Amino acid sequence: MRLYVLLIAFSFTASYLLTPVVRSLGERFTTNQLVRERDQHQAPVVKFGGVAIIASFAMGLWLASNFHFFRGVFGGEALTGLSLALLVIVILGLADDMFDLRWWIKLIGQILIGWLVATHGVLIQSLPVGSWQIDRDWLQVVITIFLVVLTMNAINFSDGLDGLAAGLAAIGAATFFVYSYILATHVSAEDYANLGALLCALLLGACLGFLPHNFNPANIFMGESGVLAIGLILSVSAIAVTGDVQGLDAHRFRNIPAYMPMMLPMVIVFLPVLDLVLSVFRRLANKRSPFSPDSKHIHHRMLAQGHSVRRAVILLYLWAAVIAVSVVSIAFIPVILVIPLALVLVLVAAIGTWWPLVLRRVEALRKRLGH
């Protein structure tokens, strides 16, 4: 655990120090940038913060490679594929932030990113429910690419308010890290270095280091490169976790449901995925492209209810933490204790979310009765 804590601290420090450098370099590209109607900021803001996140993540990988503890993680081709995919993300992300690429170009790029990791050994070969094996190689690649593209777009859809995507990613990475670490110790007590835990530890530090610069009022955005990198790293971690589950015995570990490894990745990006699904249906219903932008995401609706940007972001953090912690707690706490705890947390989050709307209705009723 001490090495993981060291890596989290290292990537945090690297990200915190690199972000102002990237912002300074990126300012020369934002002077003529237009502020879109759906944007929440009033003046152009540098969108290249994802480069700092990726750079600090890569520096953390380099540091980890020097520790004997992680020798097994660096033995295969998985990190080679991940590195190539991150390189494509930097190029694609910077191009999109500067030139606003068409949606189909970005989709092709995302498929290429998924293909790179899939062809370097990061594959969904089986599902941890029963003994469902995916025997066809091409189907393994297709399912892996689909998961990668889905996760990247889910994170992308959450990047609408200052600090939102970085905070959700940090919460997801922290939750996934804890789960992956404990799972790894149950798979092997002698060698429990774990790819998923390593990636999430580095992502956690990188996002936390970026967050002080990105929280409202933000002086830099992570841009396309940041959201794509976060989605990629989370999806690769998810695939690594589902692979590790195959090393467990028939009893799994403690009372965890067999489907938990599949559920956890979706729990981490639950809010972005929900927003993604609702947005696609909404745009198709309006006869628009599902990739066309709008200002009707969950965070936009919270602003319309009367929340400030900071309060909306913190409430979305709270919802993400409630969902993630409640589900992961099933692995360590009896369900009979988790359910009341989860209900209390949901009630607190719900009151905080809808309180302005309740106050508005009460005030309207009071005025009506006053007349």
Total domains in the fold of the chain: 1
Which structural domain, as residue segments, surrounds residue 99? 2-294
Residue 314: inside a domain: no
pLDDT at 214: 95
Asked if residue 156 belongs to a known ligand binding site, the reply is yes
Residue 359: inside a domain: no
Residue 360: inside a domain: no
Instruction: Kindly give, in sequence order, each residue whose CB lies less than 8 Å from that of residue 52, ignoring residues fewer than 6 positions away.
Output: 15, 18, 19, 21, 22, 206, 210
Residue 307: inside a domain: no
Are residues 130 and 260 in contact, defined by beta-carbon separation less than 8 angstroms? no
pLDDT at 186: 72
pLDDT at 218: 92
pLDDT at 355: 82
Residue 151: inside a domain: yes
Residue 334: inside a domain: no
Segments of the chain with pLDDT less than 70: 31-43, 127-132, 187-192, 243-269, 271-273, 276, 289-297, 299, 370-371
Residue 363: inside a domain: no
Smallest Cα–Cα separation from 82: which of 119, 109, 52, 49? 119
Residue 336: inside a domain: no
